[in-house]
């Protein structure tokens, strides 16, 4: 079963930009309430899309480079990457159904 994987700035290129599979990147922080609220949904989505979508988490407090590179100003910010490019951006904790609709549009 798929699980969101925590990655660092150093892993961003290999895990996201160079991924052959579309990637949902969750920019989050430990102190962020809405981030914690959306976390169980991301676990479910990682399972639902296992093998078709990679789900990774980037802690913005520990990995400022990636957050700065993609202009993350509020969290949670969920970015969808396909073929190394950002194709969608979701700000805030949306319900699972809305997230799934966004994801489906890029698979």
Would residue 14 show up in a list of annotated catalytic residues for this protein?
A: no
Give SS3 for 94.
coil
List, in sequence order, every residue forming a beta bridge with 86; answer none if it has no partner: 81
Q: What angle do CA 65, 66, 69 make, to 5 degrees?
A: 85
Would residue 101 show up in a list of annotated catalytic residues for this protein?
A: no
What does DSSP say about strands 54-59 and 77-82: parallel, antiparallel, or unpaired? Answer: unpaired
Catalytic residue among 32, 53, 56, 72: 32
Catalytic residue among 24, 35, 93, 99: 35
Give the active site residues.
32, 35
């Amino acid at each position: 079963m798929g699980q969101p994987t925590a990655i660092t700035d150093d892993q961003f290129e290999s895990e996201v930009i160079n991924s052959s599979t579309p990637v949902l990147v969750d920019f989050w922080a430990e102190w962020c309430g809405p981030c914690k609220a959306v976390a169980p949904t991301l676990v479910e989505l990682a399972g639902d899309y296992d093998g078709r979508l990679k789900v990774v988490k980037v802690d913005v407090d520990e990995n400022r480079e990636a957050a700065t590179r993609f202009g993350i100003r509020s969290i949670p910010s969920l970015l969808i990457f396909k073929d190394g490019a950002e194709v969608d951006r979701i700000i805030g904790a949306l319900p699972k159904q809305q997230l799934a609709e966004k994801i489906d549009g890029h698979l």
